[in-house]
């Protein structure tokens, strides 16, 4: 219609069909499976963190809720799956995953209903408080969680009774791949829906959303609950692939790292959640091998560079290059 | 003449105090159906406070607000919108990163109860898009539908401000200084839009620009220090000595 099209993905003018570039991450993930068999454990971890970062992008990038406590839902999902298996003998991975999802949803709904009445710094502090409380509960309830020693003895039966988790991590990788694909599909539909557009409305101007009669609070509670559900699933996956749960899944550091991954990739654009964990976890892997004591320094430098020179993250840089090329053409 | 059922909006003994400060003092205000009514008064007269009480941003200290015969004093902001009360903002309150069309479509979708749907894509709701586009074209903004607000000149942003409110199809529309900050060369566009607003819509306009007020309003209420000083048709108001003293006199010599 006009020369300057809106730079956003969703909305009432957006073409919601899947573009060919959106298949690239999946092709890359499958190539990784065949070409890098010795890295499948790292690969599965990346896939899980993509799902986890995707859940964070939904509330941070689309709804504009800043949180440092998203590990609460991830950690709860991880512990629910772990406790079900190690303490209650429920070994079916699907049942564990559904339980982790339900736990995340439940906690997301309860805590979201309370903290989303506040905003900005108060909200940030409350998200921190929630994950701190959960961490302390997990630390003290040693009979259930193993406390600081962690929860071992997690057994996961074959997926659908057919595909056994092997020591090379092939099943785990493909299993995470499929769960991530389903998660991505849900998130993508939601982002493109009227609900997703109304979330961007809340992010852009919540005052005006109230003035057009939107139940802003309930919209936020809903998206927060959905996000917590997905984080719970990601937590369940990390337990199933590690067959162990440590206290670190609930830590504030892991929530912070997740936010770093999302910022590295690019906030509020779905695929930032794909790029960020890849960059972060691969860099972490490489740096930890080269400089075991200083690897965090490298991550820090990367983050500083992104925040100073590329606010849109890696995908923001790509956008800039593409639009410059198009202008020349 | 003033049968109660023709009133679109009414306040009864509306008061608001912040501690010892009284910002609304026993305001009895009546807005007829289809009215073109202006609320004027010097800075700090309590006009914005009054609007904020009408829309539900502020709770009055005492008194009642009646919308279309229904007491809405305790009704939440969003529910008042659903009951037909729309507003615009003195300082642009737009979705700056979104397209012009999305700005309007958000309001249209909210009114039609579509906004909470999570499954089908927003762009598949052709009726929402078409209605929004139609509304934009009546305001002369059809060309700009896919532009982001950020990239739009200020005068057009003021029009989007009105377009969002019209997307709600309100029975009562509160316009908070619609031409604020727009150079007079461009403000004629906004005046045109105001002239063409649906006749059945009751409109209350707050405005400092007396040319706009006297061209648009059929009735004027003058608010001074939280109190209604005088109310009447423009001819009467422009002749009223008290009004000249507190407001028009200063304005004309400024």
pLDDT score recorded for residue A3: 29
A62–chain B Cβ distance below 8 A for any pair: no
Most A CBs within 10 A among B54, B99, B131, B142, hence the mutation to make, goes to B99
The beta strands (E) that lie in chain A are given as none
What would the pLDDT profile of B166-175 be if each residue is shown by its tens digit?
Answer: 999 999 999 9
B81–chain A Cβ distance below 8 A for any pair: yes
Query: For residues B237 and B230, is the Cβ–Cβ distance under 8 A?
Result: yes
- Phi and psi of B12, rounded to 5°? -120, 115
Judge: B78–A197 Cβ closer than 8 Å, yes or no.
Answer: no
Name the pairing type of β-strands B219-224 and B172-176: unpaired
Average pLDDT over residues A240-259: 92
Judge: A16–B164 Cβ closer than 8 Å, yes or no.
Answer: no
Q: Which residues of A touch B171 (CB under 8 A)?
A: none
B210 vs B102: CA distance, rounded Å: 33
pLDDT score recorded for residue A8: 52
Burial category of A321 from C-beta neighbours within 10 Å (exposed 0-12, middle 13-18, buried 19 and up): exposed
**Where residue A137 falls among pLDDT bands split at 50, 70, 90?**
very high
B78–chain A Cβ distance below 8 A for any pair: yes
List CB contacts of B34: < 8 A, sequence separation 6 or more.
B8, B199, B200, B201, B202
B234 vs A270: CA distance, rounded Å: 56
pLDDT score recorded for residue B14: 93
pLDDT score recorded for residue A222: 97
Structure ipTM: 0.88
B33 vs B207: CA distance, rounded Å: 20
pLDDT of A185 over the 80 cut = yes
pLDDT score recorded for residue B249: 55
Average pLDDT over residues A196-201: 95
What would the pLDDT profile of B82-110 be if each residue is shown by its tens digit?
Answer: 999 999 999 889 999 999 999 999 999 99
Average pLDDT over residues B131-159: 93
Helix axes A170-192, A194-204, angle to 10 degrees: 80
Average pLDDT over residues A132-157: 91
For chain B, the average pLDDT equals 90
A250 vs A69: CA distance, rounded Å: 9
Helix %, strand %, coil % for chain A, to 5?
Answer: 75, 0, 25
pLDDT score recorded for residue B3: 47
Average pLDDT over residues B194-211: 91
Distances (CA, A) of B199 to A226, B33, B170, B171: 44, 9, 12, 10
Judge: A212–B118 Cβ closer than 8 Å, yes or no.
Answer: no
pLDDT score recorded for residue A45: 95
What would the pLDDT profile of B48-58 be if each residue is shown by its tens digit?
Answer: 899 999 999 99
Residue B220's closest CA among B200, B202, B199, B204?
Answer: B204
Average pLDDT over residues B130-155: 94
**Three-class secondary structure assignment of B126-159:** HHHHHHHHHHHHHCCCHHHCCCEHHHCCHHHHHH
List CB contacts of A283: < 8 A, sequence separation 6 or more.
A298, A299, A302
What sign does the CA torsion over A55, A59, A65, A66 have?
positive
| Distance from the A7 Cα atom to the nearest Cα atom in chain B, whole angstroms | 8
Q: Which residues of B touch A212 (CB under 8 A)?
A: 81, 106-107, 110-111, 164, 167-168
Q: Which residues of B touch A204 (CB under 8 A)?
A: 94-98
B144 vs B136: CA distance, rounded Å: 9
Name the pairing type of β-strands B202-206 and B172-176: parallel
Query: For residues B40 and B221, is the Cβ–Cβ distance under 8 A?
Result: yes
Secondary element (H or E) of residue B15: strand B7-18
B107–chain A Cβ distance below 8 A for any pair: yes
What would the pLDDT profile of A33-85 be if each residue is shown by its tens digit?
Answer: 999 999 999 999 999 999 999 999 999 999 999 999 999 999 999 999 999 99
B137–chain A Cβ distance below 8 A for any pair: no
B146–chain A Cβ distance below 8 A for any pair: yes
Query: For residues A199 and A11, is the Cβ–Cβ distance under 8 A?
Result: no
Judge: A14–B146 Cβ closer than 8 Å, yes or no.
Answer: no
For chain A, the average pLDDT equals 91
What would the pLDDT profile of A296-318 be if each residue is shown by its tens digit?
Answer: 888 888 888 888 888 888 898 88
Name residues 5-64 of chain B within 8 A of A (Cβ): 55, 57
């Amino acid at each position: 219609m006009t020369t300057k099209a809106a730079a956003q993905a969703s909305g009432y003018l957006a073409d919601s069909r899947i573009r060919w570039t959106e298949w690239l991450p999946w092709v890359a993930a499958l190539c990784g499976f065949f070409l890098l068999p010795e890295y499948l454990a790292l690969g599965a971890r990346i896939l899980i963190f993509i799902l986890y970062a995707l859940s964070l992008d939904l509330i941070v990038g689309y709804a504009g809720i800043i949180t440092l406590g998203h590990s609460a839902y991830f950690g709860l999902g991880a512990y629910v799956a772990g406790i079900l298996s190690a303490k209650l003998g429920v070994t079916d991975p699907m049942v564990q995953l559904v339980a982790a999802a339900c736990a995340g949803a439940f906690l997301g709904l309860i805590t979201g209903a309370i903290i989303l009445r506040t905003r900005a710094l108060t909200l940030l502090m409350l998200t921190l408080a929630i994950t701190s409380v959960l961490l302390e509960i997990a630390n003290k309830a040693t009979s259930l969680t193993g406390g600081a020693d962690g929860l071992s003895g997690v057994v996961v039966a074959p997926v659908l009774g057919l595909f056994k988790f092997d020591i090379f991590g092939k099943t785990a990788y493909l299993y995470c791949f499929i769960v991530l694909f389903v998660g991505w599909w849900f998130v993508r539909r939601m982002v493109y829906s009227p609900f997703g557009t109304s979330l961007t409305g809340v992010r852009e101007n919540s005052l005006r959303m109230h003035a057009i009669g939107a139940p802003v609070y309930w919209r936020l509670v809903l998206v927060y609950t959905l996000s917590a559900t997905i984080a719970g699933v990601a937590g369940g996956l990390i337990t199933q692939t590690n067959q162990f749960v440590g206290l670190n899944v609930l830590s504030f550091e892991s929530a912070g790292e997740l936010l770093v991954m999302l910022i590295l990739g690019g906030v509020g654009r779905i695929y930032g959640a794909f790029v960020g964990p890849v960059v972060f976890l691969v860099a972490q892997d490489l740096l930890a091998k080269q400089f075991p004591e200083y690897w965090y320094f490298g991550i820090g430098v990367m983050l500083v560079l992104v925040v100073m020179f590329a606010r849109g993250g890696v995908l923001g840089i790509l956008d800039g290059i593409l639009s410059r090329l198009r202008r020349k053409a | 003449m003033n049968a109660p059922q023709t009133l679109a909006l009414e306040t009864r003994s509306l008061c608001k105090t912040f501690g010892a400060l009284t910002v609304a003092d026993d305001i009895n205000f009546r807005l007829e159906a289809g009215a073109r009514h202006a609320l004027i008064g010097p800075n700090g007269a309590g006009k914005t406070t009054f609007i904020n009480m009408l829309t539900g941003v502020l709770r009055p200290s005492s008194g009642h607000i009646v919308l279309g015969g229904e007491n809405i004093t305790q009704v939440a902001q969003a529910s008042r919108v659903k009951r037909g009360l729309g507003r615009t903002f003195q300082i642009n309150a737009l979705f700056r990163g979104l397209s012009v069309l999305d700005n309007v479509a958000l309001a249209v979708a909210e009114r039609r109860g579509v906004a909470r749907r999570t499954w089908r894509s927003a762009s598949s709701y052709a009726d929402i898009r078409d209605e929004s586009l139609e509304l934009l074209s009546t305001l002369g903004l059809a060309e700009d539908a896919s532009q982001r607000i950020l990239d739009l000149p200020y005068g057009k942003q003021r029009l989007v401000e009105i377009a969002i409110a019209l997307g709600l199809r309100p029975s009562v529309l509160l316009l908070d200084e619609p031409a604020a900050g727009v150079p007079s060369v461009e403000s004629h566009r906004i005046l045109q839009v105001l002239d063409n607003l649906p006749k059945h819509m009751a409109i209350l306009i707050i405005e400092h620009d007396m040319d706009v007020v006297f061209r648009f309003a059929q009735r004027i209420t003058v608010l001074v220090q939280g109190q209604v000083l005088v109310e009447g048709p423009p001819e009467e108001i422009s002749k009223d000595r008290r009004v000249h003293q507190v407001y028009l006199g200063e304005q004309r010599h400024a």
